Amino acid sequence: MNRIAELKVRKTEQEAKIGEQFTDLKNSLNIGTIIKESVAHIAEDKGTQKGLLQIGATMGSNFLIEKVLGSNNSIKGFVGSMIAEKVSNTFLGKLISKI
């Protein structure tokens, strides 16, 4: 009888442990959790941070140049926007490398 009681207690403990492991597995497979952990990992990597900052800054400057100079309106605007883009990319590259 004592052995049966011990086995029942052990069974209950093992079922609780399996339940916890299942919950952990379910949480780890959750898309939101995967994305959150991936973003946290990316945020820790300094090289990736600089790369993302460079991309964002370049896209932002290109957007502003496009809106200000209107490269689609004329050849003159297109050439001006290309020159401004090269200058801004060089400036942003130097600025971001210092960060």
Compute the residue count for the chain: 99
pTM of the full predicted structure? 0.38
Which two tokens mark 24? 């952990």
pLDDT in tens, 49-59: 677 777 777 77
Confidence of residue 30 (pLDDT cuts 50, 70, 90): confident
User: Residue 82 half-sphere exposure, CB side, CA atoms within 13 Å?
Assistant: 7
Average pLDDT over residues 31-45: 73
49: its two tokens: 């941070």
**Section 48-72 average pLDDT:** 69
Element (H, E) at 46: helix 46-69
